[in-house]
Amino acid sequence: MSNERQTPIRVLHVITRMIVGGAQEYALLAVEGLDRLPAYDVSLASGVDKGAEGDLVAQERQRVDLLIVPQLCRNINPFSDAIALWKLRSLMRERRYHVVQTHTAKAGVLGRLAAWLARTPIVIHTLHGVVFNEQQPWLVNRAWWSIQKVCAPLTDHFVTVSNVVGQKAVDAGIAAPDKISTVYNGMELDWFLDARVDTAAVRRQLRIPDAVPVVGKIARMAPVKHHDLLLDAAPRVIARHPEVRFLLVGDGPLLEDLQARVDAMGMREHFVFTGLVARERIPEMIAVMDVLVHTALYEGMPRVFVQALAMGKPCVAFDADGTREVIIPEETGSLVQPGDTLGIATAVNQLLSDPERRERMGQAGRCLVDPTFRAETMVQQMDSLYQSLIKRHADRIAAFDTSHA
């Protein structure tokens, strides 16, 4: 951007809902970090979701310029969607944003259409994962693929949270390689790297006996996270390590169903369900774990891997999407073929039986994630991308400013 510019570039990020989740924290930290830079004036537009996963709205209001669009809901509703589109377009025209960056599938569609209608000079879409995948019915995949194809010409650039997600978008014909940049999930890494936790006190609070091994999972209790596959693997881990505890952190629509299934399988004494935990307490939860497991069959880049590795905890997961970019087999954890619950159990058992191996992998993980996954690194990379796009489309911005003078 030219040094002659006297006013900051106005930026709007758009997301469907601000529950406690990876895409939401990514957007929040990006908005917060970019807004601190003198080159930008950044706002965040979001819908409202009061789900059991918890929300970040109160936190957002304190940290960023938050604009609520109540009709911007996750589920498809033609009436609400039309109102949300109209409100987003009006907001973009009124505030005259130079850059609009969208997050998640639904907000990506409505936000990009609104930006096109408002003649926003630069439009960016963030791919936190690929909406169409082998785990969904063909018709659903085809519909989402078609929608993404329609929106692609409205998009100047794509940001992906992992290289694998970017390659999938290229393979699907959604974007050209030169229109994609990977910007990893940034987070407040020092919370985890420098965490000082009284693990004995946390164990007492959670009623986990001292010295027993702990296998943890931190995720929304929703179908996409596949807690059921962890339950399938659990009996084999219990058979090898009879004192083991599974610490499941999070809340969601499947909580009661999962608790009922644990009871039906006769494993209640081995499972601890914490429910929703304040994000500030996540380091405490990780501190008592020996191994972190994640059994989602697809996901762009789970933040919990980075958080666990920053605290020196090895990870076990299915080899899906961006997972392989942080879980390096025999270095920071173990990868298993998607859906292979026997493989999950075997990998967990091997790590629980080998404290030295866990320590070695944990230390390698700390080196891997810092500084790559720092919020500061993410903001620097986003800033560089913005500057490149602003320079490339300087004529658009100049024409836009002139037309609204």
Residue 15 has pLDDT above 80, yes or no: yes
Residue 364 has pLDDT above 90, yes or no: yes
| Residues 306-318 pLDDT 10s | 999 999 999 999 9
Asked if residue 237 belongs to a domain, the reply is: yes
Asked if residue 1 belongs to a domain, the reply is: no
Contacting residues for 191 by C-beta, under 8 A, at least 6 apart:
280, 282, 283
- Per-residue buried b or exposed e for 248-263, using 16+ beta carbons within 10 Å of the residue's own CB: bbbbbebbeebeebbe
Whether residues 166 and 238 share a domain: the answer is no
Whether residues 202 and 348 share a domain: the answer is yes
Helices 355-369 and 303-310 cross at an angle (nearest 10°) of 110
Asked if residue 266 belongs to a domain, the reply is: yes
Which is nearest to 283 in space by CA: 255, 258, 254, 249?
249
Whether residues 242 and 141 share a domain: the answer is no
Neighbours of 372 (CB within 10 A): 16
Asked if residue 4 belongs to a domain, the reply is: no
pLDDT band at residue 20 using 50, 70 and 90 as cut-offs: low
Asked if residue 114 belongs to a domain, the reply is: yes
Whether residues 331 and 388 share a domain: the answer is no
Whether residues 380 and 312 share a domain: the answer is no
Both structure tokens of 259: 């608790």
Asked if residue 386 belongs to a domain, the reply is: yes
Let me know: does 81 contact 88? Beta carbons within 8 Å: no
Let me know: does 165 contact 322? Beta carbons within 8 Å: yes
Residue 284 has pLDDT above 90, yes or no: yes
Distance between CA atoms of residues 253 and 255, nearest Å = 6
Averaged pLDDT for residues 44-50 = 82
Q: If you ran DSSP here, which 8-state letter would residue 353 be given?
A: T
Distance between CA atoms of residues 315 and 152, nearest Å = 35
Which is nearest to 128 in space by CA: 173, 169, 156?
169
**N-to-C CA span, the chain:** 19
Whether residues 20 and 45 share a domain: the answer is yes
* Burial class of residue 235 in the structure, from the number of CB atoms within 10 Å of its CB (0-12 exposed, 13-18 middle, 19+ buried): middle
Range of lowest pLDDT (94-98, 310-314, 345-349, 400-404): 400-404
Whether residues 138 and 82 share a domain: the answer is yes
Query: In whole angstroms, what separates CA 168 from the centre of its chain?
Result: 17
Which is nearest to 105 in space by CA: 72, 61, 153, 83?
72
Neighbours of 77 (CB within 10 A): 12
Asked if residue 64 belongs to a domain, the reply is: yes
Q: Which helix (H) or strand (E) holds 178?
A: none
Residue 3 has what pLDDT?
47
Asked if residue 92 belongs to a domain, the reply is: yes
Let me know: does 138 contact 49? Beta carbons within 8 Å: no
Averaged pLDDT for residues 331-342 = 97
Q: Domain limits at 179?
A: 9-186+374-403
Whether residues 148 and 271 share a domain: the answer is no
Whether residues 93 and 196 share a domain: the answer is no
Residue where the block lists tokens 């974007």: 175
Q: How many independent structural domains does the chain possess?
A: 2
Whether residues 253 and 160 share a domain: the answer is no
| Residues 103-148 pLDDT 10s | 988 999 999 999 999 999 999 999 998 776 666 777 877 888 899 9
Whether residues 200 and 174 share a domain: the answer is no
* Cis upstream peptide for 371 (omega within 30°): yes
Q: Give the CATH number of the domain where residue 321 resides.
A: 3.40.50.2000
Let me know: does 121 contact 99? Beta carbons within 8 Å: yes
Residue 2 has what pLDDT?
43
Residue 60 has pLDDT above 70, yes or no: no
Residue 56 has what pLDDT?
55
| Residues 151-182 pLDDT 10s | 999 999 999 999 999 999 999 999 999 999 99
Residue 132 has what pLDDT?
65
Residue 1 has what pLDDT?
44
Whether residues 321 and 235 share a domain: the answer is yes
